[in-house]
């Protein structure tokens, strides 16, 4: 079977991630909602993106802000109604924007009716089998069934009280205790999620981002982890049985013949060999290329992540999905403004490597983030942007402790800041109350918005020639004009090894990742069609796009072109 990629809307789309709680608040209660999003849809249209991905907005007690779902078939009243979602989808479609929702199949909320049924039923009953319940160890079963830890800190098991009040079995939760893991070996679970997919597809939704897509199935015998960490495949993640689930979903997606539905996986596995099977032509369409996100600002490391992302995509016949930001990692302006850690990230803690603290040089981080945007938007494939990235927002480190809500912060007793700092509500108007996030303002934003966010407000940046927003609009809107969609990456050989340089057709992208400015031959300088910084040439931490058709004699005339393809060896 050959992947149906070429010509598919998603294969080279720019997708804008909407963290709904923090995007725009339409009813003034301090929490972003669908009404707010509808009223600000013009921002996405102006930016020129092709689609939006909404973080989970189903009924949820919000212990993990929507990744703990109590009802998969209804919108949380805090965000609006299911009809509001339908209206949003049709309004978005009218603007040519696709809409992706977030599917959370690894776990639900402890408020989901199935979990209540499981707790009310005796051990061994079929309704408990929808989750991973096990007897504990030790004389009275008082110890967890194994030594697995939760991603959010602490043990991955919580003990329940049986209906008669005695200490009972334990249930597995890869994340917070309020997020019990489903048992994907159970037929009810499989059937339920097919219903969920059909429900939202039937309402016009174009696809799903799949949460922890590598996590659904755990090793059946639940083995302890060796004291020194897992040897080989981690029993909590990336089990072979997960692939049959995605094959069945892909069949379901293809039933929508005129507009096949789309899936992108959040898959944190180490290396191409582990990722590729998820992207087989009969499984998921795309997976985020997190390998690039976790790299430091270093030419060799960035290039090798790009090459491996391209090679994986090419090997399975899909396109890469690049991203540098999302609601789980520190914002890229901040990451690139920190001391760059050139050691290889721990494969078991890739996310942790993108959530470091430490002093930040914001000016440097901003310059690099702008250059990185030019890099991403020049690559073949799709690009996922996270709200606020187009404004150059830094991570907010100085949230008051009492305002923080992330279960990572709570479960680590404050040892880890967690993710609240990248989820602060967006600044729309520098001079408005709550910086225009809420209209009208009846309650303060759910996370405090720092005063200094005013400098990043959309209204301040609109029309300002040097703003992040102006740069992003230019890059997003001109990428398809500058770079030939069908042309592979052709690496070039510029004189300075700290410059990443590639062409796709006549479009050329140069990124100076090094510490000193690089002079451009005048014929290249004259053919620049976009630059990430204000100055001519190629200053350090900057990028340019060049139209090689405007270079007399072409790239060869400046000696940078080499006949090479995707697989060209990285320079030593």
User: Site residues (CB under 6 A) for ligand NOJ?
Assistant: 64, 67, 104, 175, 211-212, 266, 327-328
Please report, for residues 235, 257, 383, the alpha-carbon distance to residue 50 in angstroms, rounded to integers and kept in the order given.
38, 21, 10
211 is catalytic: yes
Cis peptide bond N-terminal to 440, omega within 30? yes
Contact indicator for 543, 532 with CB cutoff of 8 Å? yes
Question: Rounded to the nearest whole angstrom, what is the least distance from the CB of residue 175 to ligand NOJ in the complex?
Answer: 5
Q: Which of 195, 220, 244, 255 is catalytic?
A: 255
Strand partners of residue 288: 321
Measured from the CB atom, the residue of 174 and 318 that comes closer to ligand NOJ is 174
Question: Rounded to the nearest whole angstrom, what is the least distance from the CB of residue 231 to ligand NOJ in the complex?
Answer: 25
- Containing H/E element for 169? strand 167-172
Token code pair at residue 416 = 């880890």
CA distance 24 to 429: 11
Please report, for residues 236, 281, 314, 356, the alpha-carbon distance to residue 318 in angstroms, rounded to integers and kept in the order given.
27, 8, 6, 32
10 Å CB burial of residue 217 (0-12, 13-18, 19+) is buried
Question: Rounded to the nearest whole angstrom, what is the least distance from the CB of residue 71 to ligand NOJ in the complex?
Answer: 16
Measured from the CB atom, the residue of 178 and 318 that comes closer to ligand NOJ is 178
Measured from the CB atom, the residue of 170 and 175 that comes closer to ligand NOJ is 175
Question: Rounded to the nearest whole angstrom, what is the least distance from the CB of residue 373 to ligand NOJ in the complex?
Answer: 22
Q: Which of 35, 211, 406, 420 is catalytic?
A: 211
Measured from the CB atom, the residue of 214 and 479 that comes closer to ligand NOJ is 214
Residue-wise burial string across 534-561, b where 16 or more C-beta atoms lie within 10 A, e elsewhere: eeebbbbbbbbbbbbeebeeebeebebb
Measured from the CB atom, the residue of 104 and 276 that comes closer to ligand NOJ is 104
Measured from the CB atom, the residue of 50 and 266 that comes closer to ligand NOJ is 266
- Containing H/E element for 546? strand 542-547
Q: Which residue of the chain is nearest ligand NOJ when measured via CB?
A: 67
CA distance 484 to 12: 11
Measured from the CB atom, the residue of 267 and 500 that comes closer to ligand NOJ is 267
DSSP 229-277: --SSS-TTS--TTHHHHHHHHHHHHHTS-SS--EEEE----SSHHHHGG
Residue-wise burial string across 36-63, b where 16 or more C-beta atoms lie within 10 A, e elsewhere: bbbebbebbeebbbbbbbbbbbbbbebb
Catalytic residues: 211, 255
């Amino acid at each position: 079977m050959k992947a149906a990629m070429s010509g598919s809307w998603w294969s080279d789309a720019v997708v804008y991630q909407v963290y709904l709680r923090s995007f725009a608040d339409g009813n003034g209660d301090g929490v972003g909602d669908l009404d707010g999003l509808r009223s600000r849809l013009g921002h996405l249209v102006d930016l020129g993106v092709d689609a939006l991905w909404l973080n989970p907005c189903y009924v949820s007690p919000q212990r993990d802000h929507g990744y703990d779902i109590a009802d998969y078939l209804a919108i949380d009243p805090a965000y609006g109604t299911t009809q509001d979602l339908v209206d949003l989808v049709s309004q978005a479609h009218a603007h040519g924007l696709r809409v992706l929702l977030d599917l959370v199949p690894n776990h639900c909320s402890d408020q989901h009716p199935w979990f209540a049924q499981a707790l009310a039923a005796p051990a061994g009953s079929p309704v408990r089998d929808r989750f991973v319940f096990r007897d504990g160890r030790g004389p009275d079963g008082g110890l967890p069934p194994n030594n697995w830890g939760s991603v959010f800190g602490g043990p991955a098991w919580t003990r329940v009280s049986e209906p008669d009040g005695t200490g009972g079995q334990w249930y597995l939760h890869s994340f917070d205790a309020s997020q019990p893991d489903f048992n994907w070996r159970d037929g009810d679970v499989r059937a339920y999620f097919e219903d969920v997919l059909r429900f939202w597809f039937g309402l016009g939704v174009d696809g799903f981002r799949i949460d922890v897509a590598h996590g659904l199935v755990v090793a059946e015998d639940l083995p302890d982890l060796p004291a020194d960490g897992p040897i080989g495949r981690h029993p909590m993640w990336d089990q072979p049985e997960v692939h049959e689930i995605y094959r069945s979903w892909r069949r379901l997606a293809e039933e929508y013949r005129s507009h096949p539905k789309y899936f992108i996986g959040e898959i944190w596995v180490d290396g191409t060999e582990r990722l590729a099977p998820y992207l087989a032509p009969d499984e998921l369409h795309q997976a985020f290329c997190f390998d690039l996100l976790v790299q430091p600002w270093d030419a060799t490391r960035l290039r090798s992540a790009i090459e491996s992302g391209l090679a994986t995509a090419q090997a399975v016949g899909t396109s890469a999905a690049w991203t540098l930001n999302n609601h789980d990692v520190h914002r890229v302006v901040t990451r690139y403004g920190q001391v760059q850690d050139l050691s290889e990230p721990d494969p078991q803690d890739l996310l942790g490597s993108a959530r470091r603290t430490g002093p930040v040089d914001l000016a440097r981080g901003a310059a690099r983030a702008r250059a990185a945007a030019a890099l991403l938007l020049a690559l073949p494939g799709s690009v996922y942007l996270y709200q606020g990235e187009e404004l150059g927002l830094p991570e907010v480190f100085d949230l008051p402790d009492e305002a923080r809500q992330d279960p990572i912060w709570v479960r680590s007793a404050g040892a880890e800041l967690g993710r609240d700092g990248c989820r602060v509500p967006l600044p729309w108007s520098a001079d408005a109350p709550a910086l225009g996030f809420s209209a009208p303002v009846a309650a303060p934003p759910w996370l405090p918005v720092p005063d200094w966010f005013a400098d990043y407000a959309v209204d301040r940046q609109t029309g300002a020639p040097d703003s992040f927003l102006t740069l992003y609009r230019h890059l997003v809107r001109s990428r398809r004009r500058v770079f030939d969609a069908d042309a592979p990456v052709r690496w070039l050989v510029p004189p300075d090894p700290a410059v990443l340089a590639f062409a796709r057709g006549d479009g050329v992208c140069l990124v100076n990742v090094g510490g000193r400015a690089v002079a451009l031959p005048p014929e290249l300088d004259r053919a620049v069609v976009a630059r990430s910084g204000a100055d001519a040439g190629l200053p350090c931490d900057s990028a340019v796009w060049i139209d090689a058709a405007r270079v007399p004699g072409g790239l060869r005339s400046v000696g940078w072109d080499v006949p090479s393809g995707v697989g060209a060896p990285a320079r030593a």
